[in-house]
Structure formats: structure tokens, C-alpha cells
């Protein structure tokens, strides 16, 4: 999204301040006068694509550093891996030139830098059976993700949409089981470590070549010169079934690098050539992976002649990452629980059903099932500490999720001390239809009656006999109140939901400020930029 100078500057100042304040004096000293190159990761669907990388670059330059290779950008929506490979090759060459290193095998070195996986060759990796018992799942997840993961328990899963709706949104209640790692504040995220669908796991196990049993305790080893050592990829004892169920991502489309290995291992010439083309032609790869979003099982089903050694797969598959959900409960109100609101993702591509890994996993949980989780802290998406600051919450669809934690928190505050200042909280919600997906209508009506919520304004986009309405139109209808809250009462604005909605809402608030206070377009944008910098305009956005 093109950014206005003023807004960009405000944002940069904020991120730069965070970056430098997070670095200790010693680390700043270490980073003085270094030769460096930066590569940023991000998604072009979001504003401020790769901003952080450019800010780090400027910070290092301001500390006297010399940038030896142009900053690279990797867009997760398109060609991230190939952008990185190209950048890494250039950065490595620049580093060799800069440090006067001439006697290196440039091609081999670049190929090993530009790949997260070690090159797989027959005989270089093996799975060894071991009498040692398996690592426990939370310990294993903690090692893989370098953050303590703990076992919680499912209390209930309740579909909030009507039974006639063709979509599912679940309220999932989880027992924290007393773990400190699941202590949270309203606004934080719950990170859930899901498992892959059993049908996919079984299909993959049936397809791979391996000489150990699926349920044998094994370690993955790699040959280094003349001895076998444990591979870093899965650095503990586990079973093949467990690896594929809990630790490896088997649903994202295979990377070009893995397709290149498949091409080498295909015995059918046509398949070999097609795989080679996909692995080397970035445009073809992007078209193919966007059109089909094929998982590894579908790819191996299509390319039947590929001899798929299981160690090759383990080496190349990415880790199964946790999914982060805005928390929908207040820990003060429910000390032993944490709730999330999750839309079930399920769609068909060319006759194949694809389910979202974690939404499907959560949807199928039964009471008492173990769920591995921890907390991801919000950067500033918290209720104002000053309870007299009015709050505007904007969250269509599952964007409403964190606001349930806010109103529960307000309810707790009021129950705890009836004389304390009551917050002024207005909710702007959007859904298709009052009958099917007005998911928290009953709860919020009750809270309005109790005067915990000042008002709830709902935009119905597909209501019978009513024009299509989005939250931003209702915000415009409420211009006086919105303008007054933001400009005159030092209020806070919270927006949660998808990136397009968040951008449309931000434009509408700019327009409202212009009309309410007779500001120019530039002045209104500048004002929003200041709101963000002063942490009065908060966004929790997902793709
Ligand atoms: P729609 O599906 O009818 O287009 C929750 O998803 C609600 O947000 C739905 O009512 C959806 O409407 C609506 N929505 C979709 N795009 C939006 C946007 N850009 N801004 C605001 N609301 C949007």
C-alpha cells in the first residue's frame, strides 16, 4: 500500500525507537561500525511491507555501519524463496569481496547458504532405531520452537453460527491447567500447536520409503565425514508418525527446492521434466502453487514415479508452526480458562477438500483432549490504563474475538469494584445476516443492558430486504460520536480483522476526521499517524 510520508515517518520513528530501546548498550556497541547486509521477510498484503528490515538497515548505518549489499525483500505471497536465494548469492559474494576472501568454491557455498535444508543425498541421512524412549511432545515442541510449550486441556468447542449456516465459527474454551506459560492479558494471542489431519498423515506414511516402523522410536542422523551425528532438524527421539503428525508441515505446497529433489528421484521422464520446470521457473511455480495450493500428499499422488525417501522428506519439510489467535476471554474473569474464537477454514480446489490445519484441528477437539499452547504478547493492543478514556472497537467477523476479552475485562472491573469508573466502550461489528452469524449478539445485548458496553452497532452485509452495509458505513453514520471520541475525548480506536477491512476502516476514519473537524486530507492522515505513534490507534490484523 502506498504510504503517506508523514504516516511512514511516524511509524518508522516508532519501530526504530522499539528496535533501539530493545537493544542493550552492549549490543549497540557490538553493532557499531559493522559491515552488514539485510534481508526482510513479509507479505505485500500488509502495509509497511518489510519496513522493519529497512529500519534495521538505517539503524546500523547510523551506528557507522557499511551496507555491503542492497537490502533484499521476500514476499511470502510471491517468490520469497527465490528472492532470498538471489539475494543470498549476491550478499555472499559481496561479503567475500569485502573481507578479501578469494579461495572459496563460490557455487557450493552459495548453494548451502541459500537453502535452509541441508542438501539431501542418498546415504547421507538415516533414521536409527533407538531403545531410548520418545521425547515428550511439549518438550519436543519447546525445543523445535525455542519457547516453552505446555499441555492444556479442551473444555468445550461450540459452534456460534446457526445450524442453518453453511459456515462454522467455534468458541473454543481451554483449561489452562494452571500453567504460567498461559497467563495472559486481554489483547494477547494464544499460540496453538496443532496436529495434521490423520488422513493426510496416513496417506503420507503409506507413500514414503522407509526401513523403520511408523511407531518405532528413532533418531534422524546425518553423516559427517566418517561418523553419524544427530540431525538438527529433529533433535530428539520420536516416531515417524509423531514427526509427521505434530512437527512437520505437510499441507503447504512443497518448496521449489523439494521439487528439485523430487525431480532427481522421479523415474518417469515426463514427471522429471515437469518437476524440474516447476523447481526452476519461478513464475510457473507461483502460478501452480496459487492455482492448486497442493499439499505434499497431492504432489506425490500426481508424480507417482518419485521415489520418496522419508529422510529426504523430513530434511526438506518446514516445521509445523503454531497458529496465533486473539484471545476471547479475560483471565481475571475466568482464572483457569482461555477462550478463542476461530472460523473453520475449509475449501475445495479441483475436487479436493483442503482444511485449515489449526481451525480443523480445534474444531475436532473433544472435552479433555490435550492442546499444546503458550502465549504471544500483544505489542500494544491493550485496553487503556486510564478507564475514563472512551474506547471504539471495530471488528467484523472473527475480528470481534479480542473484544470479547475486552468486555469481559470491563465486566470483571465493574464486578470487582462497583464504584470504579465505568469504561465507555462502543462495539462496531459486521456480519452477513442477523440469523446466522451474529455470533455474540446474545452476549453483547446482555452487556449493553448491564451498561458494560455503551452500545453495539452491527453492519449486516447480506440481510434480507436491507442494503449491503459494512462497519465503515456505520462509523460514518456515527461521525459525531467517533469524531468526538477521538479528537475531543482522547479516546482509543481498536481495529481487528482482515487487512482489506482494516485499510478501508482507516480510510473512513480519516474521512470522518476531515469532515468532523474540517481538516484537510493531509492533516487528517497526519493526525491518524500521530494516533498510531501515541498508541491510541491499535490494529490486530490477519491475512
Ligand atoms: P461480505 O462477506 O458480505 O462481503 C465479516 O466477514 C463481515 O465483514 C461480512 O459481513 C463481510 O461482508 C464483511 N466485509 C467484507 N469485506 C469487508 C471490508 N472490506 N470492510 C468491512 N467489512 C467487510
Q: Write the pLDDT tens digit of every residue in 412-451.
A: 999 998 888 899 999 999 999 999 999 999 999 999 999 9
In the predicted model, what is the mean pLDDT of residues 508-523? 96
Q: In what order do the strands lie in the sheet with 492-498?
A: 455-460, 425-431, 391-394, 492-498, 537-542
Please report, to the nearest 10 degrees, the dihedral formed by the alpha carbons of residues 102, 103, 107, 110 taken in order.
Answer: -70
Confidence (pLDDT) at 118: 58
| Backbone φ, ψ for residue 151 (5° rounding) | -85, 120
pLDDT for 100 beyond 80 = yes
Q: Is the CB of 500 under 6 A from ligand 1?
A: yes
Confidence (pLDDT) at 55: 87
Rg of the chain taking only CA atoms, in angstroms: 26
Tell me the pLDDT band of 103, cut-offs 50, 70 and 90.
Answer: confident
pLDDT for 535 beyond 90 = yes
Mutate to test the pocket of ligand 1, among 397, 460, 509 (most ligand atoms within 8 A of CB): 397
Mutate to test the pocket of ligand 1, among 342, 396, 460, 508 (most ligand atoms within 8 A of CB): 396
Q: Is the CB of 397 under 6 A from ligand 1?
A: yes
Confidence (pLDDT) at 239: 97
- Ligand 1 atom at shortest distance from the alpha carbon of 503: 19
- Find where cell 511470502 sits: 76
Helices (H), 23-150: 25-30, 51-62, 80-99, 106-113, 137-145
Confidence (pLDDT) at 161: 98
Confidence (pLDDT) at 457: 98
Confidence (pLDDT) at 33: 86
> What is the distance between the alpha carbons of residues 343 and 325, in angstroms, rounded to a whole number?
11
CA distances from 221 to 118, 154, 241, 314, 317 (A): 12, 36, 17, 11, 16
pLDDT for 507 beyond 80 = yes
Q: Is the CB of 399 under 6 A from ligand 1?
A: no
CA–centroid distance, residue 479 to ligand 1 (Å)? 20
β-pairing, 169-175 vs 150-159, is antiparallel
Confidence (pLDDT) at 418: 84
- Ligand 1 atom at shortest distance from the alpha carbon of 460: 10
Q: Residue of the nearest CA to atom 7 in ligand 1?
A: 431
Q: Is the CB of 396 under 6 A from ligand 1?
A: yes
β-pairing, 218-224 vs 227-230, is antiparallel
Tell me the pLDDT band of 115, cut-offs 50, 70 and 90.
Answer: low
Mutate to test the pocket of ligand 1, among 430, 457, 498, 500 (most ligand atoms within 8 A of CB): 430
Confidence (pLDDT) at 26: 66
In the predicted model, what is the mean pLDDT of residues 112-124? 67
Q: What percent of the chain has pLDDT over 90?
A: 78
pLDDT for 381 beyond 90 = yes
CA–centroid distance, residue 506 to ligand 1 (Å)? 15
CA–centroid distance, residue 397 to ligand 1 (Å)? 7
CA–centroid distance, residue 348 to ligand 1 (Å)? 21
Q: Is the CB of 507 under 6 A from ligand 1?
A: no
- Ligand 1 atom at shortest distance from the alpha carbon of 472: 21
Q: Is the CB of 504 under 6 A from ligand 1?
A: yes
Q: Is the CB of 471 under 6 A from ligand 1?
A: yes
In the predicted model, what is the mean pLDDT of residues 304-318? 96
Q: Residue of the nearest CA to atom 17 in ligand 1?
A: 501
Q: Residue of the nearest CA to atom 12 in ligand 1?
A: 461
Q: Is the CB of 462 under 6 A from ligand 1?
A: yes
- CB burial class (10 A; 0-12, 13-18, 19+) of residue 125? buried
Closest C-alpha to 395, from 269, 247, 521, 538:
538
CA–centroid distance, residue 518 to ligand 1 (Å)? 29
Confidence (pLDDT) at 18: 57
pLDDT for 501 beyond 70 = yes
> What is the distance between the alpha carbons of residues 266 and 245, in angstroms, rounded to a whole number?
26
CA–centroid distance, residue 496 to ligand 1 (Å)? 12
CA–centroid distance, residue 530 to ligand 1 (Å)? 27
Confidence (pLDDT) at 371: 98
In the predicted model, what is the mean pLDDT of residues 270-299? 94
Return the ∠ at Cα 249 (arms to 244 and 254), rounded to 5°: 115
Report which of residues 79 and 160 the model is more confident about. 160
Confidence (pLDDT) at 89: 87
Confidence (pLDDT) at 494: 98
Tell me the pLDDT band of 32, cut-offs 50, 70 and 90.
Answer: confident
CA–centroid distance, residue 475 to ligand 1 (Å)? 14
Contact 375, 405 (CB under 8 A): no
DSSP conformation letters of 485-537:
IIIIS--EEEEEEEHHHHHHHHHHHHHHHHHHHT--HHHHHHHHHHHHHTT-E
- Ligand 1 atom at shortest distance from the alpha carbon of 459: 10
pLDDT tens, position by position, 342-367 = 999 999 998 889 999 999 999 999 99
In the predicted model, what is the mean pLDDT of residues 389-417? 97
Average pLDDT, the chain: 92
Report which of residues 47 and 188 the model is more confident about. 188
In the predicted model, what is the mean pLDDT of residues 161-180? 97
CA–centroid distance, residue 374 to ligand 1 (Å)? 30
Tell me the pLDDT band of 228, cut-offs 50, 70 and 90.
Answer: very high
DSSP annotation of 185 reads -
pLDDT tens, position by position, 235-284 = 999 999 999 999 999 999 999 989 999 999 999 999 999 999 999 998 89
CA–centroid distance, residue 382 to ligand 1 (Å)? 24
Mutate to test the pocket of ligand 1, among 501, 502, 506, 539 (most ligand atoms within 8 A of CB): 501
Q: Which grid coordinates are listed for 197?
A: 489431519
Mutate to test the pocket of ligand 1, among 470, 476, 499 (most ligand atoms within 8 A of CB): 470
Q: Residue of the nearest CA to atom 10 in ligand 1?
A: 431
- Ligand 1 atom at shortest distance from the alpha carbon of 500: 19
Q: Residue of the nearest CA to atom 6 in ligand 1?
A: 397
Amino acid at each position: 500500500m502506498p504510504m503517506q510520508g508523514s504516516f511512514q515517518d511516524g511509524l518508522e520513528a516508532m519501530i526504530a525507537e522499539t528496535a533501539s530501546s530493545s537493544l542493550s548498550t552492549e549490543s549497540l556497541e557490538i553493532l557499531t561500525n559493522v559491515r552488514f547486509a539485510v534481508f526482510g521477510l513479509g507479505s505485500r498484503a500488509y502495509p509497511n511491507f518489510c519496513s522493519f528490515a529497512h529500519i534495521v538497515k538505517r539503524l546500523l548505518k547510523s551506528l557507522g555501519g557499511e551496507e555491503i549489499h542492497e537490502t533484499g525483500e521476500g514476499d511470502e505471497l510471491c517468490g520469497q524463496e527465490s528472492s532470498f536465494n538471489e539475494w543470498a548469492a549476491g550478499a555472499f559474494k559481496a561479503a567475500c569481496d569485502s573481507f578479501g576472501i578469494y579461495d572459496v568454491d563460490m557455487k557450493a557455498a552459495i548453494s548451502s547458504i541459500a537453502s535452509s535444508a541441508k542438501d539431501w543425498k542418498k546415504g547421507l541421512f538415516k533414521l536409527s532405531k533407538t531403545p531410548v524412549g520418545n521425547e515428550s511432545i511439549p518438550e519436543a515442541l519447546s525445543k523445535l520452537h525455542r519457547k516453552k510449550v505446555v499441555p492444556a486441556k479442551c473444555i468445550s468447542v461450540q459452534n456460534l453460527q446457526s445450524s442453518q449456516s453453511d459456515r462454522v465459527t467455534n468458541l473454543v474454551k481451554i483449561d489452562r491447567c494452571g500453567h504460567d506459560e498461559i497467563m495472559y492479558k486481554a489483547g494477547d494471542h494464544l499460540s496453538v500447536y496443532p496436529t495434521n489431519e490423520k488422513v493426510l498423515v496416513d496417506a503420507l506414511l503409506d507413500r514414503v520409503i522407509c526401513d523403520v516402523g511408523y511407531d518405532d522410536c528413532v533418531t534422524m542422523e546425518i553423516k559427517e565425514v566418517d561418523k553419524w551425528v544427530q540431525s538438527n532438524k529433529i533433535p530428539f527421539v520420536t516416531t515417524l508418525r509423531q514427526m509427521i503428525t505434530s512437527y512437520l508441515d505437510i499441507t503447504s505446497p512443497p518448496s521449489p527446492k523439494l521439487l528439485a529433489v523430487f525431480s532427481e528421484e522421479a523415474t518417469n521422464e515426463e514427471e522429471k521434466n515437469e518437476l524440474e520446470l516447476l523447481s526452476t521457473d519461478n513464475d510457473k511455480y507461483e502460478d501452480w502453487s496459487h492455482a492448486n495450493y497442493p499439499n505434499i500428499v497431492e504432489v506425490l499422488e500426481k508424480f507417482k514415479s518419485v521415489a520418496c525417501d522419508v529422510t529426504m522428506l523430513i530434511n526438506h519439510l518446514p516445521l509445523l508452526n503454531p497458529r496465533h489467535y486473539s484471545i476471547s476471554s479475560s483471565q481475571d474473569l475466568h482464572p483457569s480458562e482461555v477462550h478463542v474464537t476461530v472460523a473453520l477454514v475449509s475449501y475445495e480446489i479441483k475436487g479436493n477438500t483442503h482444511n485449515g490445519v489449526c481451525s480443523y484441528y480445534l474444531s475436532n477437539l473433544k472435552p479433555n483432549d490435550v492442546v499444546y499452547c503458550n502465549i504471544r504478547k500483544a505489542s500494544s493492543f491493550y485496553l487503556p490504563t486510564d478507564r475514563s478514556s472512551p474506547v471504539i472497537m471495530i471488528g467484523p467477523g472473527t475480528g470481534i474475538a479480542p473484544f470479547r476479552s475486552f468486555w469481559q475485562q470491563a465486566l470483571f472491573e465493574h464486578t470487582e469494584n462497583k464504584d470504579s469508573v465505568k469504561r465507555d466502550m462502543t462495539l462496531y461489528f459486521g456480519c452477513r445476516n442477523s440469523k446466522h452469524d451474529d455470533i455474540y449478539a446474545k452476549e453483547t445485548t446482555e452487556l449493553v443492558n448491564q451498561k458494560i458496553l455503551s452500545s453495539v452497532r452491527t453492519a449486516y452485509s447480506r440481510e434480507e430486504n436491507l442494503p449491503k452495509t459494512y462497519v465503515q458505513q456505520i462509523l460514518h453514520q456515527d461521525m459525531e460520536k467517533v469524531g468526538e471520541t477521538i479528537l475531543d475525548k482522547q479516546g482509543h480506536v481498536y481495529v481487528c480483522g482482515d487487512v482489506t477491512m482494516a485499510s478501508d476502516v482507516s480510510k473512513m476514519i480519516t474521512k470522518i476526521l476531515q469532515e468532523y473537524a474540517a481538516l484537510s486530507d493531509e492533516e487528517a492522515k497526519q493526525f491518524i499517524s500521530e494516533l498510531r505513534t501515541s498508541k491510541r490507534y491499535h490494529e490486530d490484523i490477519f491475512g
